[in-house]
Amino acid sequence: MRRLSTAYAPVAAVIVAVIAVLVWFLPSYYTGLLTLIGIYALVTIGLNLFMGYAGQVSLGQAAFVGIGAYTSAVLAVKLHLTPWLGAVAGAVAAALVAFALSFIVLRLRENLLALATLALGIVINVVFNEWDFIGGSSGFKGIPGFALGSFVFDQRAYAILAWVLVGVGIWFAGNVVQSTYGRALIAVSAGELGAQALGVNSEGLRRQAFVLSAVYAGIAGAVYASSFTYIDPTSFGFLLSVNFVLMSVIGGLRSLWGAVIGAAIVVALGQILQTVIPLVLPGARGDFQSFFLGVILVAMLILMPRGLTSRFASDGAA
């Protein structure tokens, strides 16, 4: 009998079904938030494979979301390619960039790896900003939506799409972490030299996990671009990368459900802070939101380093 926390596919299916019903009753504002949570959860599931299981850190994940978003948007606007293929292309583009960058950044460990991924995220964002072909600082407007036959996706459909992808993403990642492959990721993060002495190429393993995390981010980016119909470089900045780490840490690094819970909490907190901060600190600007999220991140790392899900479930070693 498998525990609920490791029955990834059935639980994911139930969540998707609930959301598919829920969107018919929610005000459109909340449907939009639900879509955003789904998109962020997808990124964080991929990030957890790299951070939680392989024991690495990435402070540049927003860049891969951006690469997915821009790839899909450019192909849709300039070449009239359907976003379905755009999402595939976005995932491939993000994967290729991650693969190339991995030869530089994955030689580094811990703090240096964090700094290197942070720097790469910023550099990629500069490219978004300066490259006129992809809109430069003014970004891309009027990005075509997903469609099935003659049905062009509305807000409800995007919420369902995002969460179907979360379901598929959690099914795939769940299979990975429950396989010998996932155990190897943990082995390398727990005792690298010991694993290497058995023939495990730790750098190769980390590279695959890094590229896989970029695939998740790239697909999420393509959905983001089409559902919001507008992207610009600020959508994929450093703060978004920090938020992904925050979602990861809050939910629990070595937990796939934690990624979903973390994404929901961070998005909800953002909304609450947006309402509460002006009441408490009149005249405060948006930066204060990041400030408070930062405080929460530090508090989490000190008080609950294994995340919220560590209290009621762990789906590392089943």
Q: Is 307 left (phi over 0), alpha (psi -120 to 50) or beta?
A: left
Among residues 46, 121, 221, 316, which is the contact residue for other proteins, using CB under 8 A?
316
CB distance 248 to 262 below 8 Å: yes
For residue 56, state whether it binds other proteins (rule: CB under 8 A).
no
- In this complex, which beta carbon is closest to other proteins, that of residue 28 or of residue 179? 179
Binding of other proteins by 216 (CB under 8 A): no
For residue 2, what are its two tokens?
């498998």
Q: Is 239 in the site for other proteins (CB under 8 A)?
A: no
**Minimum distance from residue 7 beta carbon to other proteins (Å):** 13
The answer to whether the CB of 5 falls within 8 A of the CB of 314 is yes
Total interface residues for other proteins by CB under 8 A: 34
What is the spatial distance between Cα 21 and Cα 74, in angstroms, rounded to a whole number?
33
Query: Which residue, 142 or 199, has its beta carbon nearer to other proteins?
Result: 199
204 near other proteins (CB under 8 A)? yes
Contacts of 20 (CB under 8 A, 6+ apart): 160, 163
CA atoms within 13 A on the CB side of 102: 22
H/E stretch holding 152: strand 151-152
Q: Do 38 and 162 meet the contact criterion of CB atoms below 8 Å apart? A: yes
The answer to whether 296 and 166 are in contact (CB under 8 A) is no
The helix-helix angle for 61-79 and 110-130 (nearest 10°) equals 20
> Minimum distance from CB of 29 to other proteins (Å)?
35
21 binds other proteins (CB under 8 A): no
Member of 44, 56, 58, 202 binding other proteins (CB under 8 A): 202
Angle, to 10 degrees, between the axis of helix 110-130 and the axis of helix 238-251?
140
Three-state secondary structure call for residue 56: coil
Which residue number, 211 or 308, has a Cβ lying nearer to other proteins? Answer: 211
Nearer to other proteins, 87 or 212 (CB): 212
Of 162-201, binders to other proteins (CB under 8 A) are 171-173, 175-176, 179-184, 186-187, 189-191, 193-201
Q: Report residue 136 as tokens.
A: 């430069």
Q: Which of 254, 260, 289, 315 binds other proteins (CB under 8 A)?
A: 254
Work out how close the CB of 209 gets to other proteins at its nearest, in angstroms, rounded to a whole number.
Answer: 8
Binding of residue 116 to other proteins (CB under 8 A): no
Find the binder of other proteins among 42, 47, 63, 212 (CB under 8 A): 212
CB of 267 to other proteins, least distance (A): 26
Residues in touch with other proteins (CB under 8 A): 171-173, 175-176, 179-184, 186-187, 189-191, 193-202, 204-205, 208, 211-212, 254, 316-317
